[in-house]
């Protein structure tokens, strides 16, 4: 069975993302929103800073009284502002982050002044411009200003920004439910008692670990034997999931039963086979649920490297799209080769490599079953179809593997 002609990667990704349904919005505590994707633009509820603040430790003066000497009449500390009025010939001791006194417009650094009792005189330089050491009201943001855009992935700085903008809760997308199904008679559930005619089931654990940095509810099912009944049973077990990922059984061999099992289960094939290496026999299907939602099934190859590469380029982008990510696809970066590479055939290839921040060294072992070289890699080197041989020092694109790429 020859099957349809493989389609280009970008076309396959576009078809997959067109199936993605953005999940419903829920509101969560800001401090529990790490890693989630913002579902709506976030507008500031307050102005930051809410008043003019000193950016340094020193003394606050009026703008028309810069020759001195001055009489110190009080202090403004962070959280404890000076409440009096500042007149000519007077100064207020002020700390970093403290509110500027009324009528004060200049902060002179304490190291540029000499204090004797409550009298200070200028010994150094006045600030230039005069407002240099003042953080003006609204410097960071003002009330009503958009501080975070829809689709941003929330990190530590975003949490601090949301709190500073007056928010206790943030709108995010519901976490998708994901099931990862290992299939194949050759898979042993227990790696410590694996007989010689089998291999330890590892792809499911790898794939759950790959998606886990995203805000998802992921679980592993299997390993499942190579029978239609067992596969359909596994699909039934995952019937509540938004995304089902299978590993193995997506090709055209006598024991590759994912496609017929999906058809019997009620799923419809959307596309099959992508022009990449490793990972050509990937398939994508969908199934309409009784609640009106759509389940998406991604069938990955069973070879571990093929499974990882296709999950990286398809499963992760799909989940990001469902979570409302502004950029669901991984972003490549440019670097140079540390060693030469051979010419590429008619399929686009993703080679394992180690990137040191300046250049990339391709792994010697590129077999799609070699987990050792996958574990030693932190990038996939992107080699276009029909690319000629490349010498050391030539430019290449790579995709970062760590944490599933850049989200």
Question: In 3-state terms, what secondary structure has residue 376?
Answer: coil
- Binned at pLDDT 50, 70 and 90, residue 407 comes out as very low
What is the Cα–Cα distance from 407 to 404, expressed in whole angstroms? 8
**Is it true that 9-24+174-322 and 53-135 share their CATH fold?**
no
Q: 260-317: per-residue pLDDT in tens?
A: 999 999 999 999 999 999 999 999 999 998 788 889 999 999 999 999 999 999 999 9
| CATH 2.170.190.11 fits domain 53-135 | yes
The runs of H, that is alpha helices, within 267-378 are 304-310, 316-322, 371-375
pLDDT over 80 (residue 330)? yes
Rounded to 5°, the CA angle 1-14-330 comes to 110
Instruction: Assign 252 a pLDDT band (cuts: 50, 70, 90).
Output: low
Highest-scoring range by mean pLDDT, 231-240, 250-259, 289-298 = 231-240
Query: Which CATH fold would you assign to the domain 9-24+174-322?
Result: Molybdenum Cofactor Biosythetic Enzyme; Chain A (3.40.980)
Helix (H) or strand (E) holding 259: helix 258-265
Dist CA 37 CA 306 (whole Å): 28
CATH level 3 topology of 333-404: Beta-clip (2.40.340)
CB atoms within 10 A of CB 241: 22
The Cα-based distances of 257 to 55, 170, 211, 296 in angstroms read 67, 43, 25, 17
Which class is 26-47+140-173 in CATH? alpha beta
With cut-offs at 50, 70 and 90, classify the pLDDT of residue 404. Answer: very low
Which helix (H) or strand (E) segment is 65 a member of?
Answer: none
Please give the pLDDT value at position 402.
67
Helix and strand numbers, DSSP H then E, in the chain: 8, 26
pLDDT digits (tens, 9 = 90+) for 131-188: 999 999 999 999 999 999 999 999 999 999 999 999 999 999 999 999 999 999 999 9
Q: Are strands 177-183 and 217-224 parallel, antiparallel or unpaired?
A: parallel
- Indicate the Cα dihedral angle 247, 248, 251, 252, nearest 10°: -140
pLDDT digits (tens, 9 = 90+) for 345-381: 999 999 999 999 999 999 999 998 899 999 999 999 9
DSSP of 242-298: SEEEEES--SSSTT--HHHHHHHHT-EEEEE-BSEES-TT-EEEEEE-TTS-EEEEE
Whether residue 31 is preceded by a cis peptide bond, meaning omega within 30 degrees of 0, is: no
- The ranges assigned to domains in the chain are 9-24+174-322, 26-47+140-173, 53-135, 333-404
Contacts of 166 (CB under 8 A, 6+ apart): 44, 45, 46
Helix (H) or strand (E) holding 334: strand 333-337
Question: What b/e string do you get for 105-131 counting C-beta neighbours within 10 Å, with b at 16 or more?
Answer: bbbbbbeebeeeeeebebeeebbeeeb
pTM of this prediction?
0.90
Pairing of strands 106-109, 58-61: antiparallel
Q: What is the pLDDT of residue 292?
A: 80
């Amino acid at each position: 069975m020859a099957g349809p002609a493989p389609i280009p990667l970008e076309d396959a990704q576009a078809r997959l993302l067109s199936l993605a349904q953005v999940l419903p919005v829920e509101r969560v505590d800001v401090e529990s929103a790490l890693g989630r994707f913002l579902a709506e633009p976030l507008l500031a509820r307050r102005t930051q800073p809410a008043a003019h603040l000193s950016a340094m430790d020193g003394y606050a003066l009026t703008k028309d009284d810069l020759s001195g000497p001055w009489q110190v009449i009080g202090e403004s500390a962070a959280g404890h502002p000076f409440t009096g009025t500042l007149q000519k010939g007077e100064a207020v001791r002020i700390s970093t982050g403290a509110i500027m006194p009324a009528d004060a417009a200049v902060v002179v650094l304490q190291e540029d002044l000499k204090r004797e009792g409550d009298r200070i005189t200028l010994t150094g330089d006045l600030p230039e411009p005069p407002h240099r050491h003042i953080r003006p009201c609204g410097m960071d943001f003002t009330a009503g200003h958009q501080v975070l855009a829809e689709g941003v992935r929330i990190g530590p700085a975003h949490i601090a920004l949301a709190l500073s903008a007056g928010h206790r809760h943030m709108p995010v997308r519901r976490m998708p439910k994901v099931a990862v199904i290992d299939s194949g008679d050759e898979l042993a559930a227990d790696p410590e008692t694996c007989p010689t005619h089998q291999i330890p089931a590892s792809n499911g654990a790898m794939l759950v670990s790959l998606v886990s940095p995203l805000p998802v509810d992921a679980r592993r099912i299997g390993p499942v034997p190579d029978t239609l009944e067992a596969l359909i049973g596994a699909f039934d077990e995952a019937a509540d999931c938004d995304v089902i990922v299978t590993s193995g059984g997506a090709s055209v061999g006598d024991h590759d039963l994912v496609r017929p099992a999906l058809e019997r289960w009620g799923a419809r094939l959307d596309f099959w086979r992508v022009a990449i290496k490793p990972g050509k026999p990937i398939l994508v299907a969908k199934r309409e649920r009784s609640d009106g939602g759509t389940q998406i099934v991604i069938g990955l190859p069973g070879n571990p490297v093929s499974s990882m590469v296709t999950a990286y380029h398809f499963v992760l982008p799909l989940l990001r799209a469902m979570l409302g990510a502004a950029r669901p696809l991984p972003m490549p970066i440019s670097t140079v080769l540390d060693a030469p590479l051979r010419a590429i055939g008619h399929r686009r290839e993703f080679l394992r490599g180690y990137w040191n921040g300046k250049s990339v060294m391709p792994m010697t072992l590129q077999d799609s079953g070699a987990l050792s070289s996958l574990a030693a890699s932190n990038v996939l080197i992107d080699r276009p179809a029909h690319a000629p041989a490349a010498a050391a020092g030539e430019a290449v694109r790579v995709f970062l593997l760590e944490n599933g790429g850049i989200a």
